[in-house]
Amino acid sequence: MKLYSTQEAARWATPLCLPRSSLTSLRPIAGRKADPKRRPMNQLNMFAQSQPVKPASVKGCTLIYTPRGRAREYAALACNVYRGCDHQCIYCYAPSATQRNRDDFAISSTRKDFLRKLEKEATKYQAAGITGRVLLSFTCDPYQHLDVREQITRRTIQILHRHDLNVEVLTKGGSRALRDLDLFTPEDAFATTLTCLTDTASREWEPYAALPNDRIETIRRFHQAGIPTWVSLEPVLSPPASLEIIRQTHSFVDLFKVGKLNYYSMAQGIDWHQFAHAAIALLTSLGYKRNADPDTLQSGQFYVKRDLARHLA
């Protein structure tokens, strides 16, 4: 089996050297409380939802929807807060998913009449008795730069909460998300995507997203506030970097989702079989358990996305 070279690891994954003492291994730390009027959270498992995790989408609703294809592995319900994304990640699949060219997609904007329509849809979900987490977002980043001014994400969270829905934020916006930390409860979740640990690699692939250290510090802050956290290791641009990310973040990450890189020629030069086994071995050694059902993931587990799981045999 080929070993990862130290040169390759250094390019992508310079250690952050976070002092172990600064990390938290017990949670929750802060006493953020769920709204007593809302449904109770599962006290034994902060990540598991206390309601069915396969909510059907409500007919006629388009803003809150059930994702299809590979996105369905991430969430049963999702909502795209903005149109386009100003982070401009090189590997972004969203322009093709939304049938827009990359230049046009990078000029993000608010969605027409979004909050009024969202309120109406959330009301319908509530009337149908559908609860659960809504992932923000697949085809944009909820904490992209545009959100600093528009604050649509904050109002989206407030609307969903008012109608018994929770949120699961997946962002590369780093500390921009801290503005809304006060809205999160232990029934919500906060997640970040990490592809590398060096600023150089991040600027190359995700030029306008928050830098890796900022994202890591932010997820640590959410963890300290008692909010369930997870990290998306997808796309994997460098297997050594992704493994190092696990080592450097596991103390404050409840759950990992591990994928691979698709659609890039450099993906063909990566030994995915080796990476899949190395990631599973590492996560297992750290006490995480593999769960092959994305709808029943719990704290202390990890999920290997189907694209990567195919390489395990």
Tell me if 94 contacts ligand SF4 by CB under 6 A.
yes
How far is C-alpha 252 from the geometric centre of its chain's CA atoms?
14
Nearest residue (CB) to ligand SF4, 147 versus 244: 147
Return d(Cα 32, Cα 253) in angstroms, integer: 17
Burial class (CB in 10 A: 0-12, 13-18, 19+), 301: buried
43: three-class secondary structure by DSSP: coil
Q: Rounded to whole angstroms, what are the CA distances from 130 to 141, 152, 164, 205?
A: 25, 23, 8, 38
Tell me if 276 contacts ligand SF4 by CB under 6 A.
no
- 53, 61, 79, 209: residue in contact with ligand SF4 (rule CB under 6 A): 209
Could you tell me how many residues of this chain bind ligand SF4 (CB under 6 A)? 11
| DSSP symbols for 194-223 | ---SSHHHHHHHSTTSPPHHHHHHHHHHHH
Stretch in the footprint of ligand SF4 (CB under 6 A) among 80-88, 158-166, 226-234, 274-282: 80-88
Stretch in the footprint of ligand SF4 (CB under 6 A) among 83-91, 224-232, 242-250, 276-284: 83-91
Tell me if 210 contacts ligand SF4 by CB under 6 A.
no
Kindly state the smallest distance separating residue 88's Cβ from ligand SF4, in Å.
Answer: 6
Kindly state the smallest distance separating residue 8's Cβ from ligand SF4, in Å.
Answer: 23
Are the C-beta atoms of 167 and 134 separated by less than 8 Å?
yes
Q: Which of 176, 219, 160 is nearest to 35 (CA)?
A: 160
Tell me if 172 contacts ligand SF4 by CB under 6 A.
yes
Kindly state the smallest distance separating residue 224's Cβ from ligand SF4, in Å.
Answer: 24
Neighbours of 116 (CB within 10 A): 9
Tell me if 305 contacts ligand SF4 by CB under 6 A.
no
Tell me if 85 contacts ligand SF4 by CB under 6 A.
yes
Tell me if 92 contacts ligand SF4 by CB under 6 A.
yes
Tell me if 194 contacts ligand SF4 by CB under 6 A.
no
Are the C-beta atoms of 197 and 249 separated by less than 8 Å?
no
Kindly state the smallest distance separating residue 89's Cβ from ligand SF4, in Å.
Answer: 3
Alpha helix segments (H runs only) across the chain: 6-12, 94-97, 102-106, 114-127, 145-150, 152-162, 199-205, 212-224, 239-249, 272-285, 306-309
Binding mask 131-170 for ligand SF4 (x = CB under 6 A): ---------xx-----------------------------
Binding site for ligand SF4 (CB under 6 A): 85, 87-89, 92, 94, 140-141, 172, 206, 209
